[in-house]
Amino acid sequence: MPAPSCTARGFTLIEVLVVVVIIAVMTAVAVFSLGVLGKDRGLETEGERLTDIIGAAIEQAGLEGQDFGLWVGSDRYQIMRLNAAAQTWESIPNDRLYELHRFAEGITAKLQIESKVVLLAEPDSKLKKEPQVYFFAGGEASPYELTLKRAGSNDVLRIQGAVDGGMSVHKPGEKR
């Protein structure tokens, strides 16, 4: 009489390793999508975009010999150019870099010039836009501190502009 056959019902080592690798990959994706140690990557991305645009405006002001300015609202911003003939500030047509940009959902701005908080226009405000920060043709700029904050979070990103046109960025979690 043949012996009854026992079939093993366990997992092979390969199957266990595949499951462990899948869990590790999913965990890594989750950690990096939230940001390392809970940092607000969206806030940092918004700050990088803004500093790139400001840097381009400062450079273009020097190259073109024209004054540029940064207008900041509570939830948006725009680079403007001085029309020297009319002595008015105007939008720069057909330039996607300098068009009106809205901050990402939930991010608001606070602007300080010479340690004084500037009242920023609210969404849908009909106030005339005129820059609060100036980038002069000679390479100088008005000093400022622009703070970006996401609603419901304690994370803030600070952009400080110096008279020489230089900028320093303090990301969330960095000491000042």
Do residues 41 and 48 touch, judged by C-beta distance below 8 A? no
Classify residue 163: in a domain, yes or no. Answer: yes
Q: What is the pLDDT of residues 115-142, one digit of tens each?
A: 899 999 876 767 778 999 999 999 899 9
CATH of the domain at 96: 3.55.40.10
Classify residue 150: in a domain, yes or no. Answer: yes
CA distance 109 to 122: 11
Residue 7, pLDDT above cutoff 90? no
Q: Give the DSSP H/E element, type plus range, for residue 129.
A: none
Q: Which domain holds residue 69?
A: 40-170
Number of domains in the chain: 1
Classify residue 29: in a domain, yes or no. Answer: no
Classify residue 10: in a domain, yes or no. Answer: no
Classify residue 105: in a domain, yes or no. Answer: yes
Do residues 144 and 111 touch, judged by C-beta distance below 8 A? yes
Q: What is the pLDDT of residues 63-102, one digit of tens each?
A: 999 999 999 999 999 999 999 999 999 999 899 999 999 9
Classify residue 23: in a domain, yes or no. Answer: no
Q: What is the pLDDT of residues 24-61, one digit of tens each?
A: 999 888 776 655 555 567 888 999 999 999 999 999 99
> Looking at residue 122, what is its pLDDT?
77
Classify residue 4: in a domain, yes or no. Answer: no
Classify residue 33: in a domain, yes or no. Answer: no
